[in-house]
A and B are shown apart, each in its own frame.
Chain A
Amino acid sequence: MMEIIQSKHWVEWLITICKFGFAFIPVIFILLLIPLERRGAGFIQDRQGPNRSYFKIPYFGRIRLFGWVQDACDGLKLFFKEIYSPSGVNKFIFSIAPAIPFAIVLISPCVIPWFAPMVFTMGDEVIRISGQTVDSEVGILLLFGLSSLSAFGAVLAGWASKSKYSLLGGLRTSAMTISYEVCLGLSIMGLLLLVGSFRIDEIIAWQEANVWGIVAQPVAFFCFLIAMIAETGRAPFDVAEGEPELVAGFHTEYGAMQFGLFYMGEYSHIGINSILVACLFLGGYSVPFVTTETIQSNIGISLAVLCGIFVVAILAFLHLLYRYARWYKKSAASNKQVILREYSLYKILGWAAVVVFAAAGVASALFFHPEFTVIDGQPVYGIGVALGTALIHILVLLVKAIFFCWIWIWVRWTLPRFRYDHVMNLGWKVILNIALINLVVTALIAKLLGGI
């Protein structure tokens, strides 16, 4: 036991344990996705979306956080409702089913690399930490296997509910998951052929060295995205819970937090799938046009650019805030004082953040010039540079993933639901064939040009 512990430096142990925290990133995505979905839907339909829920802060007033409090409202409401089940259901399966999709989501991010492998010197030792929690050779296959397990939740729920609607919904979910799993696997085969590995970190390293997957395999990207949307069971592929036909599909008989678990499982599934698409086709953690070596050798400037981006984003936010506050001051609203008081808080925080980030950026550009030692012809830096690079990489990956989350929502509120036979036709007759042709063409071109 002691030998295992002493085989690694304590910093390595610490970072390895901290990496388990990444399992919760898809769950944190729920907090982002609820307001993004509800207010995004509102904006798309020319509404304002839910913006009225508020926290009351003593001696200050109410803060609405632009509708983010709605997370807490939705969650609390579901959490404190009574859990009940219809008579005659299979109690065990009925109560275990909602937990399955949610539990899968906690496991599946284990193979996703959140940053380039950290290499740094600590004292005399050179420490190397990989970006994913589980350093597995099968990589993406493990992820596909785990995410297709989440269909079990829907199938078991449909089976156990003892309701025709639920059963039909569960049937449709299983049929759709099986169909689109095939398309999902086949559409990325071209990319895997070019990379020559199942490991996601090697796929990202290939994209960093050559071009992004979306440029190398645009057809595969579209097939993959469509199959991904179908696999999460969201519109326009949500035939499993189509309201006009099946009430609510497999979760018809569920209420309270059991329904909430399905809901959260779906949202965090979107989160994990967005991260996966970003990893496979948008270069994952890699910063466009900049290699990891460049970031590490100019870490001070890189962090300064990051701070600069933060400053610009906050200034843009403050601009919108000032403009809206000016309009609100002129309007005849009766709660003018409350809202403007809340906005003044944001203005203070925003300007403080601008000052802090600007100062941090200037300081890091001027004073952060780390020492390095050359090992095997490669410069190796200290832990500060490694952590700074990892921070930039995680943020870049999250930004790409959030962009894909928006695509999920955007597609849902634009396209009408497909009929069930249309979904099957699209899956088996169109996307599968396109993916196969794409694979063959990719293989031919790769053989002719690259001679793999």
Chain B
Amino acid sequence: MARLQLRNVNKTYGSGLPDTLKAIDLAIDSGEFLILVGPSGCGKSTLMNCIAGLEQISGGEILVDDADISGMSPKDRDIAMVFQSYALYPTMSVRDNIAFGLKIRKMPQAAIDEEVARVAKLLQIEHLLARKPGQLSGGQQQRVAMGRALARRPKIYLFDEPLSNLDAKLRVEMRTEIKLMHQRLKTTTVYVTHDQIEAMTLGDKVAVMKDGVIQQFGTPQQIYNDPANLFVASFIGSPPMNFIPVRLAREDGRLLALLDSGQARCELPLEGGSAELESREVILGIRPEQIGLATGEGNGLPSLRAEVQITEPTGPDLLVFVTLNQTKVCCRLAPDVSCRIGDTLTLQFDPARVLLFDAASGERLDAHARTHDARDNVALFKGR
């Protein structure tokens, strides 16, 4: 268990080449679960390898409990890692795989046996100990890989996309198990994934990365409800947030966003928003579940009639697609809503929940953006 801090970490593979990691600042407390999430090539795996010591950083500091470990070799950092490919030693039995790190650290044999037994019990792999990795299924290999990391009781666990080689059902099971395990062991964990569901469900803190820059660092709720920019808003959430280009107008001192469904128009009053936004092209972000069906009696929320173009029943939800401002917009409705293609629905929006982004820079414009700290914005501009 340890606190992990990254201070201004930079990584480049040579002068003249673009930086792979740019001014990464992160800090998590002892026992916290940090998710690094982002698209392929965003630098999240590189950052993890830097924490593990498998790659050297070009600048900055990596602190574990206030001690700088960035110059230490991987084996001295007391960090264990679970690899995407599991990376089990093919010639060793499961028992030897788990015990390998302990043997190298010259732990007495009795203690090794005890530790292997503890880990095997924890992961329910006791019956597999004599087998070779080649004789195990993907899920079993995954457990052994986790067992090998657990056995050393390191200060920090690193998970590098550990579930991406599993099939969908097993992935959901293992996700829950990892969460349970973390709640039991309370070890500081860094977890790399490109799966936003893993990011939302597992993490205490989430760092969304793109092009080697941290776009936003916060709790999953902050990332979801209060994204710092268009990229974060579009990356997290499924189905993704709708982005509707709108014109703003000012009326009676209030800022209004104009929506047009082809059948009807509607003015969405926006809270806050400075005067300089007026008459600018902005992008209005609204999550599918924040668009509802207007009930009979008016509740004061702005509403709008629109024609249903596609319906996608997913089981728990009914996804309905309409066109607003020439943009396809997804609405997440209750599954018992009966509507067919061509029907007209009256939709309503909660103005308090919509987000405004600058069409050019992708930055948040409205005053809601309050939880992410200013440094993220600075980093974002540097990355551009």
The finding on whether chains A and B are genuine partners in a shared complex, rather than unrelated, reads no
**Interface of A toward B, CB cutoff 8 Å:** none
